[in-house]
Amino acid sequence: MPTTAQPAKAGGREIHSRNFGDRNASWRLNSAPNHGVATALTVITGIFFALLEARRARQDREEPAAFTTVRALFTPAWITSANYVQQMPEGTTIEQIEGARRLFKATHSVLVILEGLGYSVFARVIPLHVVDDLMGGMVRVTWRNLRAYVEHERKLSRSEKNWEWVQWLAEQIERNGSGRTNLEIGAQIAFRDWKP
């Protein structure tokens, strides 16, 4: 028949000892460390499930954000404007941009869209990899072709705020993009072996 021994003190905590009929076999239970282990396991499990839920929520946001981006970009106005900016000859001057009404309008149309897109990436509404995969080339070409124009506008206005998110987006794609595609390697090469 089991007997219960009197609690002993160890380090200010009570230790309960039980003897289950065998004098050589005693079982000591220290409730404070076991309670701490249980609490730690509960917290770790909670953190694990919270991280899983946050990941799922992020993935749930990425797909609609990508579709919204595609819908916003593939309008006739965007396509026409992007075409103008993309086909600008290297070395196009500020005077040429400001002097050609269609090119000027196209330039500002593209910059406005990319400004909003850059901020959306910064605010984590749209993931950088989605923008990079979808239109990283267009962002790179736009910044390459319009950098001098943007810097000119900043100088005139005495403000670094002009098209700040366009520059930020272009730099982030170069620095932190997926790296799978760029101006030399397109999706048709980078993802040649893709399987559904």
Is the pTM higher than 0.75? The answer reads: no
**Same domain membership, residue 151 and residue 129:** yes
Which pLDDT score, from 0 to 100, does residue 75 have?
84
Q: Which residues contact 40 (CB under 8 A, 6 or more apart)?
A: none
Whether residue 173 is predicted with pLDDT greater than 80 in this model: the reply is yes
Q: Which residue has the tokens 């797909």?
A: 63
**Same domain membership, residue 149 and residue 103:** yes
Class of residue 133 by CB neighbours under 10 A (exposed 0-12, middle 13-18, buried 19+): middle
Query: Residue 26: which pLDDT band, with cuts at 50, 70 and 90?
Result: very low
Domain boundary among 60, 91, 108: 60
Whether residue 5 is predicted with pLDDT greater than 70 in this model: the reply is no
Mean pLDDT (the chain, rounded): 79
Parallel, antiparallel or unpaired: strands 8-10 and 3-4: unpaired
**Residue 65 is assigned to a structural domain of this protein:** no
Residues of the domain holding 52: 1-60
Which pLDDT score, from 0 to 100, does residue 59 have?
66
**Residue 67 is assigned to a structural domain of this protein:** no
Segment among 46-50, 76-80, 123-127, 165-169 with least mean pLDDT: 46-50
Domain boundary among 11, 35, 60: 60
